[in-house]
A and B are shown apart, each in its own frame.
Chain A
C-alpha cells in the first residue's frame, strides 16, 4: 500500500493554511497506515470540531465528523458496535481535552481500544486564536490579552493516571518518530493517546513572533528532545512513549 491510497484526493486541497501542523500529522498518519497496509474497509476515522476536525473527511475510508468534543464517545460507540474496526480519533487539543475532557478521562479509564491522535497547537485556531487548556502560561491570546494565568493541562498525567495506559508525545518536526508512535498507537490493543506538538501559524504563531512555518519547526526542534531511556514519565520537553500493561509497576 502507498500512503496516497489513504488520502481522499477529491477533497484536496485541504482547508489548512500553509505552515500549519495538521498537514504534517495527517500525512505521517497516512504513512503509518500504509506501513500497516490497513484496508480502508477495516478502519474508521472520527474527528471533532476545529481545523483538525476536518481531517476525518480527508481519509480515504469511512469517516465521521461529529460535534465539538464528542469524537471519543462516537468512536467508542463504533468500537463497541464493531470491535473488528480499527477506530482512529484525529482531533485537536481544544476538542479532545477542552470541551471533550470528560470523555477523555473516562475512555482512558475504560481502556477503550482507540488510537487518539491529538493535534496540540495550544490554541483555538479555527475560531481566531483563543486560549486553550493547553496554552503555555503567560501566552497572550484573544481571550488572555494579558497572558494566560494558568498552567497548561497535563494530558500525560491524565492518561497515565490509569494503571494500564499508553501515552506518547511527538512533534511535527520529529516526523520519523511521529509516524512510529502513530503506528504503535493504532496497533496497541487499548486506549492509546498521541499528543503531537505543533503550531498554528495564522491565528497564533504570527502573534508569537514567528515569521514562517519553518521558524516554528525550528522552535520545535530546539525545544523538544527524544527521551533517551524507557522509564518514567516524559519531562515537559521530552518526546517518547509512556506505557504500562497494567500487570507491572
Chain B
C-alpha cells in the first residue's frame, strides 16, 4: 500500500526488512526520526537509547559479535565521535550499518540545515588505512532499498558500512509503496555469534586472535587481504544512475539531494548519480566522463567529491559548490552557465 513516508522512516523500515534486530543510538537532529521509528519495537528488536554516540556504536559492535544484525544512526557531530568504533569494527571485521544524516558543520554548525560535508570523513574519518563501503540514497524509496543493501554489504564484507543521507533526503516525504520496492534478498549472518568457545576479537593487529603488534610484514599481508576482501565485496554493490544527454558536452555528477535538485536539468546536461560513493565507481565514472568534454561535480560542500573524481579521471573537473544550508536550482543553473 502506498503511504507518505519520510527518508529517515524508510531507513528504519529498510533495516527491519534487512533483518536488523539490534539498534542503539543517541538523539541528534536531523537523524532522530530513525530512533523514533524503532523505539518501542521490543522484543522484536533490542533498542537502546544510549548515553552517548560512542556507547551506541560500541553497543552495536557488541550486539553484532553476539549474533544480531545491528545499526546505529547519527549526524555529523555524532559521526565524529563514532569514528573510533568504526575503526574498531574494521579491525575486528564486524558487520554493522552506520547511518550519518549530514548537517552543516564543523562542530555544532547549523543543526537543522542539511549539507554534504561529511563525504571525505566517511572514507577517511577513523585513523589508519581502511577501505570502507559508503552508500548514498537520493529518494525515500532509495533510503529503503539501500539500507537493505548496506546490511547486505556489511555482511558480505564483514565491515561497518556507512549509509550517508543529508537532512533533506532524511526529511523528504514521498509517497511510496515499500512492499512493492524491488530489493535484493537480505543476506544471512556471516559471523558465528559469541559463545563458540575460543575466538579472540581485538582492535590490535592480530593473527588468529594472537596480537602481532611489531610485525610490519604481517601488517602488510593483513592489509592486502582486508583491502582485497573489501573491494571484492564492494564489486557487488556498484549502484549508480547515468542519464546521457547526447546533445550535451557536459556531465554533471551529483548525489543525494543535489542529484534531486539538478535532475530537472537533464534536458540540457548529462547526469551521473553515484550511489556507491566509496570505493569510488572508477570504471563507471571514467566511461561516462569519456563521452563529455566538461565534467562538473555539484555538491553541498567545498569540492570534496570533486577531488575524488579528479583523482580518478586525472583531468580537470569543475565544481559547483553551494555549500551547506539552503539550495536552489536557479542558483546552480546560473553557476553552471558561468562555467
If A63-B201, A103-B51 touch, whether A77 touches B88 (CB-CB below 8 Å) is: no
**B290 contacts chain A at the CB level, 8 A cutoff:** no
Contact yes or no, A73 B50, CB < 8 A:
yes
Q: Which of B58-66, B140-148, B276-284 lies on the face that meets chain A?
A: B58-66
* Bound CA span A60–B197, Å: 7
| Chain B nearest CB, measured from A113 CB (Å) | 13
| Chain B nearest CB, measured from A100 CB (Å) | 9
Contact yes or no, B54 A73, CB < 8 A:
yes
Enumerate chain B interface residues (CB-CB to A < 8 A). Answer: 21-22, 24, 46, 48, 50-52, 54-56, 58-68, 70, 84-85, 87-88, 92, 193-204, 209-211
**In the complex, per-residue mask of A32-51: 1 if CB is within 8 Å of any chain B CB, else 0:** 00000000111110100000
| Chain B nearest CB, measured from A170 CB (Å) | 26
| Chain B nearest CB, measured from A243 CB (Å) | 23
- A-B pairs, top 10 by smallest CB distance, nearest first, are A77-B62, A77-B59, A81-B66, A106-B51, A73-B58, A65-B202, A81-B63, A74-B62, A77-B63, A73-B55
| Chain A nearest CB, measured from B155 CB (Å) | 16
Contact yes or no, A77 B67, CB < 8 A:
no
**A57 contacts chain B at the CB level, 8 A cutoff:** yes
Contact yes or no, A85 B62, CB < 8 A:
no
| Chain B nearest CB, measured from A229 CB (Å) | 35
| Chain A nearest CB, measured from B195 CB (Å) | 5
If A65-B203, A106-B51, A106-B55 touch, whether A77 touches B198 (CB-CB below 8 Å) is: no
Partner of B66, one of A61, A70, A82: A82
Q: Count CB-based A-B contacts (< 8 Å).
A: 137
Contact count band on A: 35 or more
When C-beta atoms are compared, the residue in chain B nearest to A46 turns out to be B62
A185 to chain B: which residues have CB within 8 Å? none
Contact yes or no, A82 B193, CB < 8 A:
yes
Q: A10-B210, A62-B200 are in contact. List 6 more A-B contacts (CB 8 A).
A: A8-B200, A40-B198, A73-B59, A75-B62, A80-B62, A106-B51
Contact yes or no, A57 B211, CB < 8 A:
yes
Would you give 11 A-B contacts (Cβ < 8 Å), ordered by A?
A41-B196, A41-B197, A56-B200, A57-B211, A64-B194, A64-B201, A67-B88, A77-B60, A81-B21, A102-B51, A103-B55
A76 to chain B: which residues have CB within 8 Å? 48, 55, 59, 62
If A64-B202, A70-B58, A70-B85 touch, whether A44 touches B195 (CB-CB below 8 Å) is: yes
Partner of A82, one of B52, B56, B194: B194
Contact yes or no, B65 A64, CB < 8 A:
yes
Partner of A74, one of B61, B87, B211: B61
Contact yes or no, B59 A62, CB < 8 A:
no
Contact yes or no, B61 A81, CB < 8 A:
no
If A57-B202, A81-B46, A102-B51 touch, whether A66 touches B88 (CB-CB below 8 Å) is: yes
If A63-B201, A81-B66 touch, whether A70 touches B54 (CB-CB below 8 Å) is: yes
Contact yes or no, B195 A42, CB < 8 A:
yes
Contact yes or no, A78 B198, CB < 8 A:
no
* Bound CA span A213–B62, Å: 36
**A11 contacts chain B at the CB level, 8 A cutoff:** yes
A103 to chain B: which residues have CB within 8 Å? 51, 55
Among B21, B85, B202, the most chain A Cβ lie within 10 Å of the Cβ of B202
* Bound CA span A103–B195, Å: 24
B59 to chain A: which residues have CB within 8 Å? 73-74, 76-77, 80
When C-beta atoms are compared, the residue in chain B nearest to A105 turns out to be B51
* Bound CA span A226–B109, Å: 54
Within 8 A of B (CB), among A1-32: 8, 10-11
B67 to chain A: which residues have CB within 8 Å? 81-82
If A41-B195, A41-B197, A42-B195 touch, whether A11 touches B22 (CB-CB below 8 Å) is: no
